[in-house]
Structure 1
Protein backbone atom coordinates (compact mmCIF):
# COMPACT_ATOMS: atom_id res chain seq x y z
CA UNK A 1 0.00 0.00 0.00
CA UNK A 2 2.73 2.43 0.94
CA UNK A 3 5.65 3.23 -1.32
CA UNK A 4 9.14 2.66 0.16
CA UNK A 5 10.48 5.69 2.03
CA UNK A 6 13.99 6.88 1.24
CA UNK A 7 15.97 7.44 4.43
CA UNK A 8 17.05 10.92 3.35
CA UNK A 9 13.52 12.11 2.54
CA UNK A 10 11.29 13.92 5.00
CA UNK A 11 8.17 11.89 5.69
CA UNK A 12 4.97 13.91 5.48
CA UNK A 13 1.91 12.55 7.26
CA UNK A 14 -1.60 13.92 7.72
CA UNK A 15 -3.37 13.87 11.09
CA UNK A 16 -7.14 14.24 10.70
CA UNK A 17 -9.57 14.86 13.57
CA UNK A 18 -13.08 16.22 13.82
CA UNK A 19 -12.59 18.25 17.03
CA UNK A 20 -12.70 22.04 16.77
CA UNK A 21 -9.46 23.80 17.82
CA UNK A 22 -10.69 24.78 21.31
CA UNK A 23 -11.69 21.22 22.19
CA UNK A 24 -9.41 19.53 24.74
CA UNK A 25 -8.72 16.61 22.39
CA UNK A 26 -7.90 18.99 19.53
CA UNK A 27 -5.41 20.88 21.70
CA UNK A 28 -3.51 17.69 22.50
CA UNK A 29 -3.75 16.38 18.93
CA UNK A 30 -2.01 19.54 17.78
CA UNK A 31 0.51 19.20 20.62
CA UNK A 32 1.29 15.66 19.47
CA UNK A 33 2.04 16.93 15.96
CA UNK A 34 4.08 19.89 17.22
CA UNK A 35 6.34 17.71 19.37
CA UNK A 36 6.90 15.15 16.64
CA UNK A 37 7.71 17.91 14.17
CA UNK A 38 10.16 19.60 16.56
CA UNK A 39 12.04 16.45 17.49
CA UNK A 40 11.84 14.79 14.11
CA UNK A 41 12.78 17.83 12.03
CA UNK A 42 14.04 16.71 8.67
CA UNK A 43 12.76 13.17 9.23
CA UNK A 44 9.01 13.52 9.66
CA UNK A 45 6.46 16.32 9.49
CA UNK A 46 2.84 15.95 10.56
CA UNK A 47 0.23 18.24 9.03
CA UNK A 48 -2.96 18.63 11.09
CA UNK A 49 -6.50 18.92 9.75
CA UNK A 50 -8.96 19.81 12.56
CA UNK A 51 -12.73 20.35 12.47
CA UNK A 52 -13.37 17.45 10.10
CA UNK A 53 -11.60 19.13 7.19
CA UNK A 54 -10.63 15.69 5.87
CA UNK A 55 -12.82 13.19 7.71
CA UNK A 56 -15.66 13.47 10.20
CA UNK A 57 -16.15 11.67 13.49
CA UNK A 58 -17.92 8.73 11.82
CA UNK A 59 -15.54 8.53 8.87
CA UNK A 60 -12.07 8.59 10.40
CA UNK A 61 -11.86 4.90 11.29
CA UNK A 62 -12.57 3.81 7.73
CA UNK A 63 -10.10 6.38 6.43
CA UNK A 64 -7.35 5.01 8.67
CA UNK A 65 -8.11 1.41 7.73
CA UNK A 66 -8.06 2.15 4.00
CA UNK A 67 -4.92 4.28 4.22
CA UNK A 68 -6.67 7.44 3.05
CA UNK A 69 -4.95 9.20 5.94
CA UNK A 70 -1.94 8.19 8.01
CA UNK A 71 -2.99 9.45 11.46
CA UNK A 72 -6.36 10.16 13.03
CA UNK A 73 -8.18 11.23 16.17
CA UNK A 74 -10.64 8.46 17.01
CA UNK A 75 -13.53 8.50 19.51
CA UNK A 76 -13.91 4.97 20.89
CA UNK A 77 -17.68 4.98 21.49
CA UNK A 78 -18.31 6.09 17.89
CA UNK A 79 -15.66 4.27 15.85
CA UNK A 80 -15.10 0.98 17.67
CA UNK A 81 -18.61 -0.55 18.12
CA UNK A 82 -19.18 -0.96 14.34
CA UNK A 83 -16.02 -3.09 14.35
CA UNK A 84 -16.71 -4.95 17.60
CA UNK A 85 -20.04 -4.21 19.23
CA UNK A 86 -18.75 -5.20 22.65
CA UNK A 87 -16.78 -1.97 22.89
CA UNK A 88 -20.16 -0.45 23.76
CA UNK A 89 -19.45 -1.38 27.38
CA UNK A 90 -17.43 1.84 27.63
CA UNK A 91 -20.64 3.86 27.56
CA UNK A 92 -22.51 1.92 30.23
CA UNK A 93 -23.77 4.65 32.60
CA UNK A 94 -22.32 4.50 36.09
CA UNK A 95 -20.11 1.44 35.52
CA UNK A 96 -16.56 2.81 35.27
CA UNK A 97 -15.20 5.22 37.89
CA UNK A 98 -12.71 7.12 35.72
CA UNK A 99 -10.44 6.75 32.70
CA UNK A 100 -7.95 4.60 34.56
CA UNK A 101 -10.68 2.18 35.62
CA UNK A 102 -12.02 1.98 32.06
CA UNK A 103 -8.60 1.37 30.51
CA UNK A 104 -7.76 -1.28 33.08
CA UNK A 105 -10.78 -3.27 31.89
CA UNK A 106 -9.64 -3.20 28.27
CA UNK A 107 -5.96 -3.75 29.00
CA UNK A 108 -5.93 -6.15 31.96
CA UNK A 109 -9.01 -8.37 31.78
CA UNK A 110 -9.24 -11.27 29.36
CA UNK A 111 -12.59 -10.14 27.99
CA UNK A 112 -11.50 -6.53 27.59
CA UNK A 113 -8.22 -7.46 25.92
CA UNK A 114 -10.06 -9.59 23.41
CA UNK A 115 -12.29 -6.68 22.42
CA UNK A 116 -9.43 -4.17 22.24
CA UNK A 117 -7.11 -6.41 20.20
CA UNK A 118 -9.89 -7.41 17.84
CA UNK A 119 -10.61 -3.75 17.02
CA UNK A 120 -6.95 -3.01 16.25
CA UNK A 121 -6.45 -6.17 14.20
CA UNK A 122 -9.60 -5.80 12.13
CA UNK A 123 -9.03 -2.11 11.40
CA UNK A 124 -5.30 -2.57 10.77
CA UNK A 125 -4.48 0.35 13.02
CA UNK A 126 -1.76 1.18 15.55
CA UNK A 127 -2.57 2.80 18.90
CA UNK A 128 -0.27 5.75 19.66
CA UNK A 129 -1.88 7.82 22.41
CA UNK A 130 -4.80 8.22 24.76
CA UNK A 131 -6.44 11.59 24.19
CA UNK A 132 -9.68 11.46 26.21
CA UNK A 133 -12.71 13.37 25.05
CA UNK A 134 -13.95 13.79 28.60
CA UNK A 135 -16.64 12.82 31.10
CA UNK A 136 -20.11 12.59 29.57
CA UNK A 137 -23.01 14.50 31.10
CA UNK A 138 -26.39 15.76 29.94
CA UNK A 139 -27.19 19.32 28.83
CA UNK A 140 -30.58 20.77 27.91
CA UNK A 141 -32.27 24.06 27.10
CA UNK A 142 -35.58 23.10 28.69
CA UNK A 143 -35.45 22.71 32.49
CA UNK A 144 -33.24 21.68 35.41
CA UNK A 145 -32.40 17.98 35.26
CA UNK A 146 -33.01 16.88 38.83
CA UNK A 147 -34.92 13.61 38.40
CA UNK A 148 -35.82 10.93 35.88
CA UNK A 149 -39.12 12.73 35.30
CA UNK A 150 -37.18 15.79 34.06
CA UNK A 151 -36.37 13.90 30.84
CA UNK A 152 -39.94 13.19 29.78
CA UNK A 153 -40.62 14.60 26.31
CA UNK A 154 -37.17 16.06 25.67
CA UNK A 155 -35.81 15.90 22.12
CA UNK A 156 -32.41 14.30 22.63
CA UNK A 157 -29.59 13.94 20.14
CA UNK A 158 -27.54 10.77 20.15
CA UNK A 159 -24.28 10.11 18.35
CA UNK A 160 -23.75 6.39 18.96
CA UNK A 161 -26.46 3.77 19.16
CA UNK A 162 -25.53 2.78 22.70
CA UNK A 163 -27.01 6.08 23.94
CA UNK A 164 -30.49 5.41 22.58
CA UNK A 165 -31.79 2.86 25.16
CA UNK A 166 -31.15 5.35 27.95
CA UNK A 167 -33.05 8.16 26.23
CA UNK A 168 -35.94 5.78 25.53
CA UNK A 169 -36.04 4.52 29.12
CA UNK A 170 -36.20 8.11 30.38
CA UNK A 171 -39.03 9.06 28.03
CA UNK A 172 -37.08 11.34 25.70
CA UNK A 173 -37.37 11.31 21.91
CA UNK A 174 -33.99 10.26 20.46
CA UNK A 175 -32.62 11.77 17.23
CA UNK A 176 -29.44 10.50 15.54
CA UNK A 177 -27.18 13.39 14.54
CA UNK A 178 -23.49 13.95 13.71
CA UNK A 179 -21.49 16.62 15.51
CA UNK A 180 -21.55 19.11 12.66
CA UNK A 181 -25.34 19.39 12.67
CA UNK A 182 -25.94 19.91 16.39
CA UNK A 183 -25.66 23.70 16.56
CA UNK A 184 -28.22 24.28 13.81
CA UNK A 185 -30.54 21.63 15.27
CA UNK A 186 -30.46 23.39 18.65
CA UNK A 187 -31.09 26.67 16.92
CA UNK A 188 -34.17 25.49 15.02
CA UNK A 189 -35.57 23.34 17.85
CA UNK A 190 -35.06 19.97 16.21
CA UNK A 191 -33.30 18.93 19.44
CA UNK A 192 -33.10 20.52 22.86
CA UNK A 193 -30.98 18.01 24.78
CA UNK A 194 -27.78 16.02 24.35
CA UNK A 195 -25.19 14.10 26.31
CA UNK A 196 -21.62 15.15 25.64
CA UNK A 197 -18.40 16.25 27.33
CA UNK A 198 -18.03 19.79 28.74
CA UNK A 199 -15.24 20.54 26.28
CA UNK A 200 -17.67 20.17 23.38
CA UNK A 201 -20.18 22.79 24.54
CA UNK A 202 -17.39 25.37 24.44
CA UNK A 203 -15.57 24.17 21.32
CA UNK A 204 -18.74 24.14 19.20
CA UNK A 205 -20.52 27.00 21.01
CA UNK A 206 -23.42 24.71 21.93
CA UNK A 207 -23.64 26.59 25.20
CA UNK A 208 -25.32 29.35 23.20
CA UNK A 209 -28.49 27.25 23.33
CA UNK A 210 -28.40 25.14 26.50
CA UNK A 211 -29.02 26.37 30.04
CA UNK A 212 -28.95 23.32 32.32
CA UNK A 213 -26.51 20.48 33.02
CA UNK A 214 -26.66 17.37 35.17
CA UNK A 215 -24.06 15.72 37.41
CA UNK A 216 -22.69 13.16 38.24
CA UNK A 217 -20.97 12.09 35.03
CA UNK A 218 -22.54 9.20 33.14
CA UNK A 219 -19.42 7.62 31.64
CA UNK A 220 -15.90 8.47 30.53
CA UNK A 221 -15.43 8.86 26.77
CA UNK A 222 -11.95 7.85 25.74
CA UNK A 223 -10.37 8.90 22.47
CA UNK A 224 -7.13 8.03 20.77
CA UNK A 225 -4.50 9.09 18.29
CA UNK A 226 -4.09 6.17 15.93
CA UNK A 227 -2.07 5.34 12.84
CA UNK A 228 -2.53 3.14 9.81
CA UNK A 229 -0.58 0.00 10.76
CA UNK A 230 0.98 -0.55 7.32
CA UNK A 231 2.21 3.04 7.18
CA UNK A 232 3.64 2.80 10.70
CA UNK A 233 5.39 -0.49 9.91
CA UNK A 234 7.05 1.12 6.89
CA UNK A 235 8.62 3.94 8.91
CA UNK A 236 12.29 3.95 9.94
CA UNK A 237 12.73 2.53 13.43
CA UNK A 238 13.81 5.83 14.96
CA UNK A 239 10.67 7.57 13.62
CA UNK A 240 8.48 4.78 14.96
CA UNK A 241 10.09 5.21 18.37
CA UNK A 242 9.58 8.98 18.22
CA UNK A 243 5.84 8.56 17.59
CA UNK A 244 5.57 6.07 20.45
CA UNK A 245 7.48 8.29 22.89
CA UNK A 246 5.45 11.41 22.08
CA UNK A 247 2.29 9.32 22.26
CA UNK A 248 3.15 8.21 25.78
CA UNK A 249 3.74 11.83 26.83
CA UNK A 250 0.44 12.99 25.32
CA UNK A 251 -1.41 10.08 26.95
CA UNK A 252 -0.19 11.10 30.38
CA UNK A 253 -0.68 14.84 29.98
CA UNK A 254 -4.04 14.75 28.23
CA UNK A 255 -5.45 12.30 30.77
CA UNK A 256 -4.08 14.30 33.70
CA UNK A 257 -5.66 17.54 32.49
CA UNK A 258 -9.02 16.44 31.12
CA UNK A 259 -11.03 16.57 34.36
CA UNK A 260 -9.66 19.99 35.38
CA UNK A 261 -10.28 21.27 31.85
CA UNK A 262 -13.86 19.98 32.02
CA UNK A 263 -14.47 21.60 35.41
CA UNK A 264 -13.22 24.94 34.12
CA UNK A 265 -15.59 24.77 31.15
CA UNK A 266 -18.48 24.17 33.56
CA UNK A 267 -17.38 27.17 35.59
CA UNK A 268 -17.47 29.28 32.42
CA UNK A 269 -20.90 27.83 31.62
CA UNK A 270 -22.22 28.91 35.02
CA UNK A 271 -20.63 32.35 34.64
CA UNK A 272 -22.59 32.72 31.40
CA UNK A 273 -25.84 32.01 33.23
CA UNK A 274 -25.92 28.24 32.98
CA UNK A 275 -27.03 25.99 35.82
CA UNK A 276 -25.40 22.72 36.91
CA UNK A 277 -27.51 20.46 39.10
CA UNK A 278 -26.10 17.52 41.06
CA UNK A 279 -28.60 14.71 41.57
CA UNK A 280 -29.69 13.89 45.09
CA UNK A 281 -28.91 10.43 46.46
CA UNK A 282 -32.55 9.48 46.00
CA UNK A 283 -32.53 10.61 42.37
CA UNK A 284 -29.26 8.80 41.68
CA UNK A 285 -30.74 5.61 43.10
CA UNK A 286 -33.69 5.92 40.72
CA UNK A 287 -31.38 6.39 37.73
CA UNK A 288 -29.40 3.32 38.82
CA UNK A 289 -32.62 1.30 39.05
CA UNK A 290 -33.61 2.33 35.52
CA UNK A 291 -30.14 1.41 34.28
CA UNK A 292 -30.40 -2.08 35.80
CA UNK A 293 -33.98 -2.79 34.86
CA UNK A 294 -34.34 -1.05 31.48
CA UNK A 295 -31.13 0.39 30.01
CA UNK A 296 -28.78 -2.57 30.44
CA UNK A 297 -31.35 -5.12 29.19
CA UNK A 298 -32.01 -2.79 26.25
CA UNK A 299 -28.37 -3.13 25.27
CA UNK A 300 -28.63 -6.90 24.75
CA UNK A 301 -28.44 -6.48 20.98
CA UNK A 302 -25.40 -4.20 21.26
CA UNK A 303 -23.26 -6.10 23.79
CA UNK A 304 -22.81 -9.85 24.19
CA UNK A 305 -24.29 -10.97 27.55
CA UNK A 306 -21.01 -12.46 28.76
CA UNK A 307 -19.16 -9.21 28.03
CA UNK A 308 -21.80 -7.12 29.78
CA UNK A 309 -21.64 -9.44 32.79
CA UNK A 310 -17.84 -9.25 32.82
CA UNK A 311 -17.90 -5.44 32.80
CA UNK A 312 -20.46 -5.27 35.61
CA UNK A 313 -18.51 -7.81 37.65
CA UNK A 314 -15.28 -5.90 37.07
CA UNK A 315 -16.99 -2.70 38.17
CA UNK A 316 -18.25 -4.26 41.39
CA UNK A 317 -14.83 -5.48 42.53
Structure 2
Protein backbone atom coordinates (compact mmCIF):
# COMPACT_ATOMS: atom_id res chain seq x y z
CA UNK A 1 0.00 0.00 0.00
CA UNK A 2 1.48 3.32 -1.09
CA UNK A 3 0.03 6.74 -0.26
CA UNK A 4 1.16 9.18 -2.93
CA UNK A 5 0.87 12.66 -1.30
CA UNK A 6 3.60 11.97 1.31
CA UNK A 7 5.93 11.10 -1.58
CA UNK A 8 5.05 14.13 -3.68
CA UNK A 9 2.70 16.74 -2.20
CA UNK A 10 1.66 17.90 -5.67
CA UNK A 11 -0.42 14.75 -6.06
CA UNK A 12 -2.88 16.47 -3.70
CA UNK A 13 -4.07 18.45 -6.71
CA UNK A 14 -6.16 15.39 -7.62
CA UNK A 15 -8.47 16.09 -4.67
CA UNK A 16 -8.85 19.82 -5.33
CA UNK A 17 -12.65 20.28 -5.41
CA UNK A 18 -14.22 20.96 -8.79
CA UNK A 19 -11.01 20.64 -10.78
CA UNK A 20 -11.46 17.56 -12.97
CA UNK A 21 -14.69 16.50 -14.65
CA UNK A 22 -14.02 12.76 -14.97
CA UNK A 23 -11.66 9.94 -14.06
CA UNK A 24 -10.38 9.96 -17.62
CA UNK A 25 -9.48 13.64 -17.49
CA UNK A 26 -7.79 13.30 -14.09
CA UNK A 27 -5.76 10.25 -15.11
CA UNK A 28 -4.76 11.78 -18.42
CA UNK A 29 -3.46 14.88 -16.64
CA UNK A 30 -0.91 12.67 -14.87
CA UNK A 31 -0.14 10.73 -18.05
CA UNK A 32 -0.14 13.39 -20.77
CA UNK A 33 0.61 16.86 -19.40
CA UNK A 34 4.12 18.03 -18.63
CA UNK A 35 3.28 19.01 -15.05
CA UNK A 36 1.22 15.90 -14.33
CA UNK A 37 3.62 13.37 -15.86
CA UNK A 38 6.47 14.95 -13.90
CA UNK A 39 4.57 14.26 -10.68
CA UNK A 40 3.67 10.71 -11.73
CA UNK A 41 7.22 9.88 -12.81
CA UNK A 42 8.53 11.15 -9.48
CA UNK A 43 6.02 9.03 -7.56
CA UNK A 44 6.74 5.81 -9.42
CA UNK A 45 10.51 6.36 -9.34
CA UNK A 46 10.63 7.00 -5.60
CA UNK A 47 8.27 4.11 -4.82
CA UNK A 48 9.92 1.82 -7.40
CA UNK A 49 6.49 0.90 -8.68
CA UNK A 50 4.57 0.46 -11.91
CA UNK A 51 0.87 1.04 -12.44
CA UNK A 52 -0.96 -2.15 -13.34
CA UNK A 53 -4.56 -0.97 -13.12
CA UNK A 54 -6.93 1.64 -11.73
CA UNK A 55 -9.32 0.54 -8.98
CA UNK A 56 -11.38 3.68 -8.20
CA UNK A 57 -13.08 4.39 -4.90
CA UNK A 58 -15.78 6.51 -6.51
CA UNK A 59 -16.56 10.12 -7.43
CA UNK A 60 -17.20 12.26 -4.35
CA UNK A 61 -20.14 14.61 -3.80
CA UNK A 62 -21.80 16.29 -0.82
CA UNK A 63 -24.72 14.81 1.14
CA UNK A 64 -26.59 16.38 4.05
CA UNK A 65 -29.48 15.83 6.43
CA UNK A 66 -29.76 19.52 7.32
CA UNK A 67 -31.25 21.24 4.28
CA UNK A 68 -31.39 21.36 0.50
CA UNK A 69 -27.93 22.14 -0.89
CA UNK A 70 -28.93 24.85 -3.34
CA UNK A 71 -25.72 26.88 -3.30
CA UNK A 72 -22.78 28.28 -1.39
CA UNK A 73 -24.66 30.28 1.25
CA UNK A 74 -26.67 27.34 2.60
CA UNK A 75 -23.44 25.57 3.59
CA UNK A 76 -22.80 28.00 6.45
CA UNK A 77 -23.17 26.34 9.85
CA UNK A 78 -23.33 22.76 8.60
CA UNK A 79 -21.62 20.11 10.73
CA UNK A 80 -19.41 18.37 8.21
CA UNK A 81 -17.26 15.29 8.47
CA UNK A 82 -13.83 16.01 6.98
CA UNK A 83 -12.10 12.84 5.83
CA UNK A 84 -9.13 14.39 4.04
CA UNK A 85 -6.92 17.30 5.02
CA UNK A 86 -7.57 18.73 1.57
CA UNK A 87 -11.32 18.98 2.32
CA UNK A 88 -10.97 21.34 5.29
CA UNK A 89 -10.18 24.57 3.41
CA UNK A 90 -13.40 24.23 1.44
CA UNK A 91 -15.51 23.66 4.55
CA UNK A 92 -13.77 26.59 6.23
CA UNK A 93 -14.61 28.79 3.24
CA UNK A 94 -18.23 27.66 3.54
CA UNK A 95 -18.08 28.62 7.26
CA UNK A 96 -19.15 25.10 8.15
CA UNK A 97 -17.99 23.24 11.26
CA UNK A 98 -15.78 20.22 10.67
CA UNK A 99 -15.26 16.99 12.58
CA UNK A 100 -12.68 14.30 11.81
CA UNK A 101 -14.22 10.84 11.97
CA UNK A 102 -13.21 7.37 10.76
CA UNK A 103 -15.69 5.71 8.44
CA UNK A 104 -16.87 3.31 11.13
CA UNK A 105 -18.17 6.18 13.27
CA UNK A 106 -20.07 8.11 10.59
CA UNK A 107 -23.40 6.26 11.01
CA UNK A 108 -23.56 6.92 14.75
CA UNK A 109 -22.44 10.53 14.26
CA UNK A 110 -25.27 11.10 11.77
CA UNK A 111 -27.70 9.32 14.08
CA UNK A 112 -26.79 11.48 17.09
CA UNK A 113 -26.48 14.74 15.17
CA UNK A 114 -22.76 15.14 15.78
CA UNK A 115 -22.51 15.67 12.02
CA UNK A 116 -25.15 16.40 9.41
CA UNK A 117 -23.07 16.59 6.23
CA UNK A 118 -20.48 14.42 4.48
CA UNK A 119 -18.49 14.21 1.28
CA UNK A 120 -18.78 10.69 -0.05
CA UNK A 121 -19.03 8.50 -3.13
CA UNK A 122 -22.74 7.79 -3.67
CA UNK A 123 -22.22 4.06 -3.27
CA UNK A 124 -21.03 4.49 0.30
CA UNK A 125 -24.24 6.10 1.53
CA UNK A 126 -26.06 2.92 0.53
CA UNK A 127 -23.37 0.43 1.56
CA UNK A 128 -23.05 1.92 5.06
CA UNK A 129 -26.77 2.82 5.35
CA UNK A 130 -25.90 6.49 5.81
CA UNK A 131 -28.80 7.38 3.55
CA UNK A 132 -31.12 6.60 6.46
CA UNK A 133 -30.17 10.07 7.71
CA UNK A 134 -29.20 11.89 4.52
CA UNK A 135 -31.91 13.63 2.50
CA UNK A 136 -30.08 16.12 0.29
CA UNK A 137 -27.21 15.93 -2.17
CA UNK A 138 -25.23 18.29 -4.37
CA UNK A 139 -23.55 17.81 -7.72
CA UNK A 140 -21.31 18.17 -9.68
CA UNK A 141 -18.87 15.66 -8.27
CA UNK A 142 -16.14 17.47 -6.34
CA UNK A 143 -13.32 15.09 -7.07
CA UNK A 144 -12.72 11.58 -8.36
CA UNK A 145 -11.25 9.42 -5.61
CA UNK A 146 -8.94 6.94 -7.29
CA UNK A 147 -6.91 3.96 -6.16
CA UNK A 148 -4.19 2.07 -7.94
CA UNK A 149 -2.89 -1.48 -8.10
CA UNK A 150 0.86 -1.13 -8.42
CA UNK A 151 3.61 -3.70 -8.92
CA UNK A 152 7.19 -3.58 -7.73
CA UNK A 153 9.04 -2.32 -10.78
CA UNK A 154 12.03 -4.64 -10.34
CA UNK A 155 9.72 -7.63 -10.14
CA UNK A 156 7.71 -6.47 -13.17
CA UNK A 157 10.84 -5.86 -15.23
CA UNK A 158 12.05 -9.37 -14.42
CA UNK A 159 9.02 -10.93 -16.12
CA UNK A 160 9.27 -12.17 -19.72
CA UNK A 161 8.12 -9.57 -22.24
CA UNK A 162 5.05 -11.55 -23.26
CA UNK A 163 3.95 -11.89 -19.63
CA UNK A 164 4.49 -8.17 -19.03
CA UNK A 165 2.28 -7.45 -22.02
CA UNK A 166 -0.41 -9.82 -20.74
CA UNK A 167 -0.39 -8.28 -17.25
CA UNK A 168 -0.78 -4.77 -18.68
CA UNK A 169 -3.49 -5.85 -21.11
CA UNK A 170 -5.55 -7.53 -18.40
CA UNK A 171 -4.93 -4.63 -16.02
CA UNK A 172 -6.25 -2.14 -18.57
CA UNK A 173 -9.36 -4.23 -19.21
CA UNK A 174 -10.14 -4.84 -15.54
CA UNK A 175 -9.38 -1.21 -14.66
CA UNK A 176 -11.83 0.04 -17.27
CA UNK A 177 -14.45 -2.40 -15.99
CA UNK A 178 -13.84 -1.30 -12.40
CA UNK A 179 -14.20 2.36 -13.36
CA UNK A 180 -17.41 1.87 -15.32
CA UNK A 181 -18.83 -0.32 -12.55
CA UNK A 182 -18.18 2.23 -9.79
CA UNK A 183 -19.65 5.06 -11.88
CA UNK A 184 -22.74 3.04 -12.78
CA UNK A 185 -23.18 1.92 -9.18
CA UNK A 186 -23.00 5.52 -7.99
CA UNK A 187 -25.65 6.70 -10.44
CA UNK A 188 -27.81 3.71 -9.50
CA UNK A 189 -27.53 4.68 -5.83
CA UNK A 190 -28.53 8.27 -6.64
CA UNK A 191 -31.60 6.99 -8.50
CA UNK A 192 -32.59 4.99 -5.43
CA UNK A 193 -31.75 7.96 -3.21
CA UNK A 194 -34.26 10.09 -5.12
CA UNK A 195 -36.83 7.28 -5.02
CA UNK A 196 -36.45 7.32 -1.22
CA UNK A 197 -37.36 11.01 -1.24
CA UNK A 198 -33.87 12.47 -1.51
CA UNK A 199 -33.25 15.72 -3.38
CA UNK A 200 -30.22 16.13 -5.65
CA UNK A 201 -29.27 19.68 -6.63
CA UNK A 202 -26.79 20.37 -9.43
CA UNK A 203 -24.97 23.68 -9.11
CA UNK A 204 -25.14 25.70 -12.31
CA UNK A 205 -25.21 29.27 -13.55
CA UNK A 206 -24.71 31.95 -10.91
CA UNK A 207 -24.34 29.47 -8.03
CA UNK A 208 -21.65 27.49 -9.84
CA UNK A 209 -19.85 30.75 -10.64
CA UNK A 210 -20.07 31.72 -6.97
CA UNK A 211 -18.59 28.36 -5.96
CA UNK A 212 -15.76 28.72 -8.47
CA UNK A 213 -14.99 32.23 -7.22
CA UNK A 214 -14.89 31.00 -3.63
CA UNK A 215 -12.45 28.27 -4.62
CA UNK A 216 -10.15 30.79 -6.31
CA UNK A 217 -10.33 33.51 -3.67
CA UNK A 218 -10.44 31.50 -0.44
CA UNK A 219 -9.74 27.81 -0.91
CA UNK A 220 -6.73 27.93 -3.24
CA UNK A 221 -4.73 30.24 -0.92
CA UNK A 222 -5.61 28.04 2.07
CA UNK A 223 -4.29 24.97 0.24
CA UNK A 224 -1.03 26.66 -0.75
CA UNK A 225 1.05 24.34 1.43
CA UNK A 226 -0.52 21.22 -0.08
CA UNK A 227 0.75 21.67 -3.64
CA UNK A 228 2.65 24.16 -5.76
CA UNK A 229 0.51 26.88 -7.31
CA UNK A 230 1.98 26.32 -10.78
CA UNK A 231 0.82 22.69 -10.62
CA UNK A 232 -2.76 23.77 -9.89
CA UNK A 233 -2.64 26.31 -12.69
CA UNK A 234 -1.36 23.63 -15.08
CA UNK A 235 -4.12 21.25 -13.97
CA UNK A 236 -6.77 23.96 -14.41
CA UNK A 237 -5.47 24.73 -17.89
CA UNK A 238 -5.52 21.03 -18.78
CA UNK A 239 -9.06 20.59 -17.41
CA UNK A 240 -10.34 23.45 -19.58
CA UNK A 241 -8.97 21.98 -22.83
Q: TM-score, structure 1 length as denominator? A: 0.70
Structure whose residues are more often helix by fraction: 2
Deviation at 1:235, TM superposition (A): 5.8
- Structure 1 segment 77-156 matched on structure 2, within 5 A: 79-156=3-80
Alignment-derived partner of residue 142 in structure 2: 218
Deviation at 1:288, TM superposition (A): 0.9
2:213 is the alignment partner of 1:260? no
Deviation at 1:230, TM superposition (A): 5.0
Alignment-derived partner of residue 312 in structure 1: 236
Alignment-derived partner of residue 16 in structure 1: none
> 2-side partners of 1:174 and 1:81: how far apart?
22
- Structure 1 segment 292-303 matched on structure 2, within 5 A: 292-303=216-227
Classify the secondary structure of the residue corresponding to 2:17.
coil
2:82 is the alignment partner of 1:158? yes
> 2-side partners of 1:315 and 1:289: how far apart?
17
- Structure 1 segment 160-175 matched on structure 2, within 5 A: 160-175=84-99
Q: TM-score, structure 2 length as denominator? A: 0.90
1:135-165 CA distances to partner (integer Å, 9 max, x unpaired)? 2110011111102121111111122211111
> 2-side partners of 1:243 and 1:184: how far apart?
42
Structure number with bigger Rg: 1
> 1-side partners of 2:205 and 2:187: how far apart?
21
What is the CA RMSD across the aligned residues, in angstroms?
Answer: 2.1
Deviation at 1:233, TM superposition (A): 5.2
> 2-side partners of 1:241 and 1:311: how far apart?
30
Alignment-derived partner of residue 100 in structure 2: 176
Deviation at 1:255, TM superposition (A): 2.6
> 2-side partners of 1:238 and 1:179: how far apart?
42
Alignment-derived partner of residue 75 in structure 1: none
Where relative contact order (Cα < 8 A, 6+ residues apart) is larger, the structure is 2
> 1-side partners of 2:151 and 2:126: how far apart?
28
Deviation at 1:238, TM superposition (A): 6.1
1:102-148 CA distances to partner (integer Å, 9 max, x unpaired)? 11110011110111122222223331111222221100111111021
